[in-house]
Chains A and B, each alone.
Chain A
Amino acid sequence: MIQPQPHDLQPAPTRDERARQEFVSGLRRHVLIRLAGNMRGEYGDEVVPAFEREHGRAPADGPEVHRAMRGSRAFRFYSAVRTNAQEMVFASVIPGVERRIAELADQARGLREDAERAGGSLTLDPDLEVPRNVTEIDVHLAPGSYHAEYGDDDVAAGAVYDHSINVFAFGQFGRELDDIGQTMSNYIRLKYPDFRPERILDCGCTIGHNTLPWARSFPDAEVHGIDVAPGVLRYASARAKSLGVPVHFRQMDATKLDYPDASFDVVFSSMFLHELPLRDIRAFFAEARRVLKPGGVLWNMELPPNSRMAPYESFYLDWDSYYNNEPFYKPFRDQDYRDLCTGAGFAAEDFIEATLPRYSFVGEAAFREGVDEPALFDSQTGRMDPKGTRWYGFGAWKKA
């Protein structure tokens, strides 16, 4: 069953809309397990043998697998049903948000202005030009993308984002949709016990769901979250207030950070880089290095790089780039991530990466055992799989 969100900003779905959300969530799960399994089976049983007969070898990389798979029955049905499921995620959530759009805006404003609640702040920049990679594409088929505003103090884009990923994730993002943030922040805490960050910055934070765990993992640190979209930030700030976690949210472009040099100990991002054109990734990394204090770390949760994945897994993860309005996803995954870091001035030997079990699913004891394991790239890496998922992280330390 879809877990109710643990904060005050609730849309108003009818019982039928809730039932529809349950169906769509179940459909997503079914597609990613059953139909994905069928597709993998058809690849091994039919597509590879046919390819080998023609070429004398198996497909060598993701694009070759993609070309070989495109005509297969399992691929067509997986892709078509997954596309419908994606569209239906948003369709199941939007009416309930729309019905409460004015109340949600009022409620969010009330939470933000409530002096009794945890600290934190919201600073918007009406002059900020929202980049074209956000405005010109309805990213992962989200109608209106996630930057649009529908009135004064509007939070609709944030509410749609929050509740749609809850339907989308079928429980795989954890109770507060924050497992990625929990996993990535607790990794830094447990792997580097002497590292005591005082200031932490989350870039491209949307509704702050993966920002808040940093404030919980490092309760003495000052945590900031930035995004280019105002509606999600208003929502993020109200959501954080509702959950009692102090975070400073600012509307800012990660490629042009309005922070002084050497002002953060951690610069974090999650599921952010793959939404950016390569030049913006490079600009962000240069900015991250600039604002990091010596001895600080850039740490990104992302999809694993194609160069480390078997051809089929590479194809499987790149599906989104071809079919889910994610044009920058494959160009990013085709990069050497260490080169992205050294290109911004980090030293090659200061590069770090890890593949991690989900902290909120396995618990601290089991998680702690895994923090020194070498990165492992297989069919569970970077994929939402109820049987076991490993999130991938990479980045670099800035020399002290």
Chain B
Amino acid sequence: MSKELPRTARGRRNRFFEAEGVDELLSMVMELTAEVATLRERLYVTERVLEHNGLAVGEGIERYEITDEDDAWLAAERERLLSTVLRTIESGSRDAREAAPAGEDSGDEEDPGKDSRSVRAA
């Protein structure tokens, strides 16, 4: 059994700021802060684990050369981070889902004239 649970609540998201984009920007800041907190915890735990194993890692980190494999992992991780931080303005967000017809996941296919906020496809 492999099932996906819904990730967002139904209904239009409340807005608390009159200026366009401020609500979304605030969500991005909160998500970024969560990411930083998570990362800091992981780094902290990593350093403690290494210490317990007798490894002082500071100098090694500075000298380390990124491999192709590392690079692929880091690129995917950056993409995941961006999707998380930008969740309120990307497709799949509650507002985007309400605005777009079912099955469409790209703002590019919307009629640009329908919504002044839409970005025209190049």
- CB pair B5–A16 under 8 Å, yes or no, is no
Chain A residues, Cβ within 8 Å of B34: 20, 23-24, 27, 88
| Interface presence of B116 (CB below 8 A) | no
Q: Mark B1-18, 1 if CB is under 8 A from A, else 0.
A: 111111111110110110
* A323 and B9 alpha carbons, distance in the complex (Å): 13
Binary flags per residue of A12-46, CB closer than 8 Å to B gives 1, else 0 = 00011001101110110000000000000000000
Residue of B nearest to A76 (CB): B16
Interface residues of A in 72-97 (CB under 8 A from B): 75-77, 79-81, 83-85, 87-88, 90-91, 94, 97
Q: Which residues of B contact A97 (CB under 8 A)?
A: 5
Considering only residues 148-195 of chain A, those with a C-beta below 8 Å from chain B are 148, 150-152, 154, 156, 160
Interface residues of B in 44-63 (CB under 8 A from A): 45
Closest Cβ of chain A to B1, distance in Å, is 4
Residues of A close to B38: CB separation below 8 A: 16, 19-20, 23
Residue of A whose beta carbon sits closest to that of B15: A80
Flag whether A245 is at the interface (Cβ < 8 A). Answer: no
> A160 touching B26 by the CB < 8 A rule?
no
Q: How many A-B residue pairs have CB under 8 A?
A: 95
Distance in angstroms between the alpha carbons of A85 and B2 in the assembled complex: 28
- In the complex, the answer to whether B3 meets A156 with C-beta atoms within 8 Å is yes
CB proximity of B97 to chain A, nearest CB, Å: 12
A79 touches B16 (CB 8 A): yes
With the chains together, A390 CA to B11 CA distance in Å? 32
Chain A 80-121, CB-CB to B under 8 Å as 1, else 0, gives 110111011011001001100110010000000000000000
User: What separation, in Å, do the CA atoms of A83 and B34 have in the docked complex?
Assistant: 15
CB-contact partner of B1 in A77, A88, A102, A143, under 8 A? A102
Residues in B with CB closer than 8 Å to A88 are 30-31, 34
Partner of B9, one of A23, A138, A148, A160: A138
Choice from B5, B14, B27, B31 contacting A323 with Cβ under 8 Å: B14
Instruction: Tell me whether chain A's interface is mostly helix, strand or loop, or mixed.
Output: helix
Question: Which of B5, B13, B38, B45 is packed against the most chain A CB atoms within 10 Å?
Answer: B5
Give Cα A380 to B42, complex, Å: 36
Contact assessment for A138 and B10 in the assembled complex, using a CB-CB cutoff below 8 Å: yes
Q: How far is the CA of A325 from the CA of B8 in the complex (A)?
A: 13
Q: How far is the CA of A142 from the CA of B37 in the complex (A)?
A: 24
Determine if B26 and A81 form an interchain contact, defined as CB atoms under 8 angstroms apart.
Answer: yes
For chain B, the count of residues having a C-beta within 8 Å of the partner chain is 27
Q: Closest CB-CB distance, A232 to chain B, in whole Å?
A: 14
Residues on the A chain within 8 Å of B31, using CB = 84, 88
Please pick, from B1, B11, B42, the residue contacting A138 in the complex, using a CB distance under 8 A: B11
Alpha-carbon separation in the docked complex, A77 to B38 (Å): 23
Let me know if A144 and B6 touch, CB within 8 A. Answer: yes
**CA–CA, A91 to B9, complex, Å?**
10
Determine which of A23, A27, A143 lies in contact with B6 in the assembled complex, contact meaning CB atoms within 8 Å. Answer: A143
Excluding A81-B30, A138-B11, A143-B5, 20 further A-B contacts by CB distance (< 8 Å) are: A19-B37, A20-B38, A22-B41, A23-B34, A27-B33, A27-B34, A77-B26, A79-B14, A83-B14, A87-B8, A98-B3, A98-B4, A101-B2, A102-B1, A138-B10, A141-B9, A142-B9, A143-B8, A143-B9, A150-B5
What are 14 residue pairs bridging A and B, where the CB atoms are less than 8 Å apart in the complex? A15-B41, A15-B42, A19-B41, A26-B37, A27-B34, A80-B26, A83-B16, A87-B8, A88-B34, A90-B9, A98-B3, A138-B11, A143-B6, A150-B3
Instruction: Give me the interface of B with A, judged by CB distance under 8 Å.
Output: 1-11, 13-14, 16-17, 23, 26-27, 30-31, 33-34, 37-38, 41-42, 45
Q: Which residues of A contact B (CB under 8 A)?
A: 15-16, 19-20, 22-24, 26-27, 75-77, 79-81, 83-85, 87-88, 90-91, 94, 97-98, 101-102, 105, 137-138, 141-144, 148, 150-152, 154, 156, 160, 323, 325
